[in-house]
Amino acid sequence: MLRYVLLGLLDAEPRYGYELKAVFEQFLGGTWPLNIGQIYTSLAHLEEEGLVRSQVVPQGSAPDRKVYEVTAKGRKALSAWTSTITDEPVRLRDELFLKVSVLSLKNGPATRELIHQQRIAILSRLRDLAELQDLPENHPATELLLEAAMLRTEADLKWLDAVEARLKDGGSDG
């Protein structure tokens, strides 16, 4: 998927490698760590497949730069990817869901305790996200990500409420 994100960024504006890395990081607010080696490897693959082409631009006394731009074939590949409907399975593989599921087998006070502690932790995450949302330098794409992260975090809290309500209804808890 990285290749399409890079294609999309180059489609917006031709870039050289380091520049592309900086723009990529700004775009996703640093939430997808990449080193420059990974960028160059991806660019080399894209070039091999004819999705991008590069041009050496002399920089005077500084070393020459290779500027990459998207080809017509690359644009087509990008549009094929962006126009495909995403329908992935819901991912609930994080630890919290598994922990609560395991604890629910016994439905003892430990479940309640976990829910309490977890609620505080999730709320603290929501606070951090709310604070990050207020930063003026956010890239518009990062703002969209933050919105998604907040909504999902709120959903986690609501899920804990639902679990708690079910435990209470179950009544076997002391």
Between CA 98 and CA 26 the distance in angstroms is 33
At its nearest, how many Å lie between other proteins and the CB of residue 61? 35
Q: Is 7 a residue that touches other proteins (CB under 8 A)?
A: no
At its nearest, how many Å lie between other proteins and the CB of residue 23? 15
Applying CB under 8 A, which of residues 20, 46, 145, 167 lies at the interface with other proteins?
A: 145
SS3 of residue 148 by DSSP: helix
Applying CB under 8 A, which of residues 23, 67, 114, 123 lies at the interface with other proteins?
A: 123
* Residues 91-120 close enough to bind other proteins by CB under 8 A: 116, 119-120
Residue 2 tokens, joined:
């990285």
3-state secondary structure 92-154: CCCHHHHHHHHHHCCCCHHHHHHHHHHHHHHHHHHHHHHHHHCCCCCCHHHHHHHHHHHHHHH
Between CA 145 and CA 162 the distance in angstroms is 26
b/e for 68-91, b at 16 or more Cβ within 10 A? bebbeebeebbeeeeeeeeeeeee
Q: Is 87 a residue that touches other proteins (CB under 8 A)?
A: no
At its nearest, how many Å lie between other proteins and the CB of residue 9? 14
Q: Total residues at the site for other proteins (CB under 8 A)?
A: 33
Q: Kindly tell me which of 10 and 145 has the beta carbon lying closer to other proteins.
A: 145
Applying CB under 8 A, which of residues 50, 124, 144, 166 lies at the interface with other proteins?
A: 124
Q: In the complex, which residues of this chain contact other proteins (CB under 8 A)? A: 1-2, 28-33, 116, 119-120, 123-132, 142, 145-146, 149-150, 153-154, 157-158, 161, 164-165
